Chains A and B, each alone.
Chain A
Amino acid sequence: MAFTNEELERYSRHIILKEIGVKGQKKPLNGKVLIIGAGGLGAPAAMYLAAAGVGTIGIADADVVDLSNLQRQVIHTTNDIGKLKVESAAETMRAINPGIQVNTYHTFVSSENIMDLIADYDFILDGTDNFPAKFLINDACVMAKKPLSHAGIIRFKGQLTTIIPGEGPCYRCIFKNPPPKDAVPTCRQAGVIGAMGGVIGSLQAMEAVKYLTGTGDLLVGYLLTYDALTMEFHKIKLPSRKGGCAVCSDTPTITTLIDYEQIACDLKDR
């Protein structure tokens, strides 16, 4: 299928890149990315993926837009307060690029729905804000063999890694189990600088676009950390797949999905 003149113009700054070209730009148009969480990370990621012409973007979130979200969740505006986040996010994505399909899922991810949610997508982007969800998404992506961009942000720090099951370590290779409730502070308790979601969420979008276009090297086997106070990026080479990983080793001990207890204050952070 040839590009229309409008598409050629819209994506001209991609098409002119020798690493992408006309051929490379067709891949995201046929690609499907699911963003879980329409917040600090998911907002910029969704906007860049819509703008880049990812043909189908799913967005899952159970919350409504709250005034306290607007300091960082740039996909929502003051007029969106009280709207479902997935609806507000979808409106912005469709306004940026009417040529893409946006699917909304007004739900919390759980062991009940996550396998169905991720099944239709090529790449999953974790923009959630709590450990139970991050472990659930990791385990589901390992079991379904779905590529995943994992990220976390807090205060003036952020980090991300890309997980391709079978090729490199997963989240559980690094962290065996979620920390106990309240043992490690969350954004709501500790705060987060607004632009951090922009930095790390954009890097997640970068990984999704690189994956779909087959361009460059992904953060598979690396954890990239960013400290805004010192303005330092640090790329940590992760140990190769840990033989004993409970979920991604050849003999996993975790073979069904686990719903860890949600941290109560995260549920209230709407």
Chain B
Amino acid sequence: MKIKVAGEVKEVKEGLTLTELIEIEQVETPQYVTVSLNEEFVESGSFAETVLKDGDDVEFLYFMGGGR
């Protein structure tokens, strides 16, 4: 199936969970990433139960603390 990750279309296996996608994408500090799935925030405790479907649109939002 095809999903969109950060605006890019990717081919992934059926039944992929958000936790697995986070591993594949090598998300930095995964315990602190915020995930938006089809423009809805996903509760951070439910990544493992979140099974992705064809056409899903996933965005990772990262903490960025610098500025000075």
Chain A residues near B (Cβ < 8 Å): 37, 39-42, 63, 69, 73, 126-131, 134, 151-154, 157-159, 173-175, 179, 183-187, 190, 192, 197, 223, 234, 236-240, 242, 269
Contact = CB atoms under 8 A, between A and B. Distances in A.
B36 interface: yes
Given A127-B68, A185-B65, A238-B39, 11 more contacts: A41-B68, A73-B68, A127-B67, A134-B65, A134-B67, A151-B64, A152-B67, A158-B64, A186-B65, A236-B61, A242-B41
B52 to A, nearest CB: 17
A238 B68 contact: no
Contacts of B64: 151-154, 157-159
Interface string B16-51: 000000000000010110101001110000000000
Contact of A236 (B29, B40, B59, B63): B59
Given A236-B36, A239-B41, A187 B63 contact: no
Given A183-B29, A184-B29, A234-B6, A239 B66 contact: no
Contacts of A152: 63-67
Contact of B66 (A69, A154, A173): A154
Given A179-B32, A238-B36, A174 B61 contact: yes
